[in-house]
Structure 1
Amino acid sequence: MLKKEEQELQIDQEKLERDRNLHIREMKRLVHESASRFKDGVILHHRYLLLHLIGKGGFSEVHKVFDMQEMRFAACKIHQLHKDWKEDKKANYIKHSIREYEIHKKLENSRVVKFYDVFEVDDNTFCTVLEYVDGHDLDFILKQQKCLSEREAKSVITQTMRALKYLNEIKPPIIHYDLKPGNILLGSEDSGWDIKLTDFGLSKVVEKESPDGMELTSQGAGTYWYLPPECFVISNEPPMISSKVDVWSVGVIFYQCLFGRKPFGNEQSQASILHENTILKATEVIFPEKRPVSKEAKDFIRRCLTYRKEDRPDILTLSLDPYLKSPKK
């Protein structure tokens, strides 16, 4: 009886913790919304009516808007350059943003967030308008639930792989390079978690296909828990990368969905991962014993997290993996 009561208390405690996190998140959102110079009811570019703030990043805010021309909801990302920035820093930020939307606007796939528009507000502010997804990102879901069932996690990964397959089949192919739970948007649970990829700020366009891949010119960028060992190799020549970078990220995300923790550097900071060469030492993936997960799922993760990039499958090969195929009815 005591054990049963203890389990019930544990469930109640977890629910209260989730409610507390939601409350804190909403309080932060309201503080950012009240401090923003873009208030609800403002109309941008003579067509986008601001409804409410969705979230705030380093130098940008994302608002839910209503497009009065197309008669649809959209997400408006407002980029604000700091007035005290030097001109070269402003130019670099704008160049980076232009490159992102040049890549994004050409993408047309049901598993990729649609790019609608870009416009200037003033000398230090410009906006990109994207498809509005009514739901949360995978990072939010994992913080609330800690982990997913294998069936749910497999559905998320299968849909993510369809998006990545599309990115690798178009000409020229694209490496996402910043694949992580925060960049996987999930439609509302009522729609069965319809996923869409977003944020192409670090994406690489493979202009010249070669067996060795392409040079990594932005070493040090990205989210370290989700990047493979080859991105951390220091030498005189830049590392060579391919779509196998995204394959490694898929393995890390799937592991996190199933076990509620990252396979490498889970409790570490980005600086600590870099300082201790955590990912360069990630030669073997270890699975927690308590969580019941199929052998097939673990084997799939091992294939994704193959240490040597030469032995790791690329995206197109992984998309044909037997584990991802639906069982016959």
Structure 2
Amino acid sequence: MKPKRTETIYDLLKSVSKVERQEARLKARQNSSRLGNVLIRAGTVVSEIWEDGPALKDLHAQLKQLQETKEDIEQQHNLFKKKQSDKGDGIDAEAGLSEDILIQEEIYKSRLASIKREEEIALRECHLYELEKGRLIREMKRILDEDASQFNNFQILNHRYVFLNLLGKGGYSEVYKAFDLVEHRYVACKLHGVNAQWSEEKKQSYIRHAIREYNIHKTLVHRHIVRLWDIFKIDPNTFCTVLEFCSGKDLDDVLKETPILPENEAKVVLFQIIKALVYMNERTPKVIHYDLKPGNVLFDELGIAKVTDFGLSKIVENDVGSQGMELTSQGAGTYWYLPPECFEQSKTPRISSKVDVWSAGICFYYMLFGRRPFGHDQTQQKIFLKHTIINAYEVEFPSGSTVSNKAKVS
């Protein structure tokens, strides 16, 4: 590309990204003034404490007032009934009820029903505010991480990737939205940082793991799998993998905002995940993802679901046979989504593509019922110590659910 044209594109990208950063920070400040903020408490131990803003405080005060009003009405009602009971000793209760008494009874019922409706409205608003609060906290963290990042000044890396705005940070990696000046498309650049304090052995182990992930992921070309385009070194302690950019949310974020999806929507997402798994199982060599969960299912701008993050994936050699391959990385993965065979301790576990099928089923259950079927309220440590998954013989379904029997047995 001609230098002048490249410079023009770069200037436009930088200008747009600066505006996006300003708007993101302004929106965060505005939301913080309504919803609350993180306070830093300095003492023996420095801690971060969330303080609700006026919107949440007003709602909580309203709920408290409604509860007090309800208790007051119930107390008045009980006193009224006791008074009528004392008056009507020895008289048939129904026969002794005058028209005024019946009307008063209906007034109490009506007032309590009205309070209940107001409570339901306030609780719905409270739930929506809590969702907003969660989004705000995540956005505030992202902004802080972006401000602290050494790659936040719109650099052009590897002579082609313009780094724009930070998408997220976790563990030893940062993910930036970037623009590929060669292919003229947006990409996601995942920066892998090797801690300078690590031993040389640990550094090499981390790099080998990342290169192994790259070598597996780069061969996967499918509509429902995030493409891996490139890898390059930045400095002795940092390298970057370049991935397909998905502008939508991940399934985990979707479920935080809408804990229970309509059955048809859940089926559509599951169908797309299964399409990716079928492809991975029918290719040579086969690939087991091994960490399939809502956080590793992204959506692009068209709402197409794509599986990502092959950091724990396994290559299945052709000679493993029907018993599957040995699991040499026992303990890794996200326990809520792994099948019982991954927790076998009496012998070395053997796994197959069925691991991913089980994980997809757990994701489907989560979409339909708003919780995982096994160990939902347990930590990973408790799941392991209590043998929760090994003893997962039967799936229970919440009562009152409108989910079809066909979906339950699928």
2:342/2:351 contact within 8 Å kept: yes
1:147/1:259 contact within 8 Å kept: yes
Q: Which aligned pairs between 1:296-311 and structure 2 lie closer than 5 A?
A: 296-300=406-410
Q: Which residue among 243, 257, 268 is the counterpart of 1:130?
A: 243
1:40/1:52 contact within 8 Å kept: no
Report the counterpart of residue 117 of structure 1 in structure 2. Answer: 230
Output the amino acid matched with 1:276: K
Report the counterpart of residue 149 of structure 1 in structure 2. Answer: 262
Deviation at 1:3, TM superposition (A): 3.3
Report the counterpart of residue 276 of structure 1 in structure 2. Answer: 386
Secondary structure class of the residue paired with 2:249: strand
Report the counterpart of residue 116 of structure 2 in structure 1. Answer: 3
Q: 1:30 and 2:30 equivalent?
A: no
Deviation at 1:12, TM superposition (A): 1.2
Q: Which residue among 97, 106, 125 is the counterpart of 2:210?
A: 97
Report the counterpart of residue 312 of structure 1 in structure 2. Answer: none
Q: Which residue among 122, 144, 167 is the counterpart of 2:280?
A: 167
Q: 1:257 and 2:370 equivalent?
A: no
In structure 1, the gaps of 5 or more residues are 301-329
Output the amino acid matched with 2:328: T
Q: Which residue among 130, 153, 157 is the counterpart of 1:44?
A: 157
Secondary structure class of the residue paired with 1:136: coil
CA distance, structure 1, for counterparts of residue 161 and residue 243 of structure 2: 12
1:116/1:131 contact within 8 Å kept: yes
CA distance, structure 2, for counterparts of residue 269 and residue 70 of structure 1: 44
CA distance, structure 2, for counterparts of residue 18 and residue 282 of structure 1: 31
CA distance, structure 1, for counterparts of residue 137 and residue 300 of structure 2: 22
Q: Which residue among 330, 341, 363 is the counterpart of 1:219?
A: 330
Provide the TM-score with structure 1 as the length reference. Answer: 0.88
CA distance, structure 1, for counterparts of residue 286 and residue 182 of structure 2: 33
CA distance, structure 1, for counterparts of residue 391 and residue 236 of structure 2: 46
Deviation at 1:218, TM superposition (A): 0.6
Output the amino acid matched with 2:361: G
Output the amino acid matched with 1:278: T
Deviation at 1:147, TM superposition (A): 1.6
In structure 2, the gaps of 5 or more residues are 1-113
CA distance, structure 1, for counterparts of residue 160 and residue 368 of structure 2: 43
User: CA-atom RMSD, angstroms?
Assistant: 1.0
Deviation at 1:187, TM superposition (A): 2.4
CA distance, structure 2, for counterparts of residue 217 and residue 109 of structure 1: 27
Deviations 1:207-254 (A, max 9, x none): 12411111111111100000000000102x411110111111011111
Deviation at 1:114, TM superposition (A): 0.7
Report the counterpart of residue 203 of structure 1 in structure 2. Answer: 313
Deviations 1:190-210 (A, max 9, x none): x3x210010111111111241
Q: Which residue among 111, 124, 131 is the counterpart of 1:18?
A: 131
The structure richer in helix per residue is: 2
Deviation at 1:69, TM superposition (A): 1.1
Which shows bigger deviation, 207-216 or 162-171?
207-216
Provide the TM-score with structure 2 as the length reference. Answer: 0.71
Q: Which residue among 345, 348, 354 is the counterpart of 1:234?
A: 345
Report the counterpart of residue 89 of structure 2 in structure 1. Answer: none
Report the counterpart of residue 83 of structure 1 in structure 2. Answer: 196
2:245/2:300 contact within 8 Å kept: no
Deviations 1:60-79 (A, max 9, x none): 00000011111110000000
Deviation at 1:166, TM superposition (A): 0.5
CA distance, structure 2, for counterparts of residue 57 and residue 147 of structure 1: 27
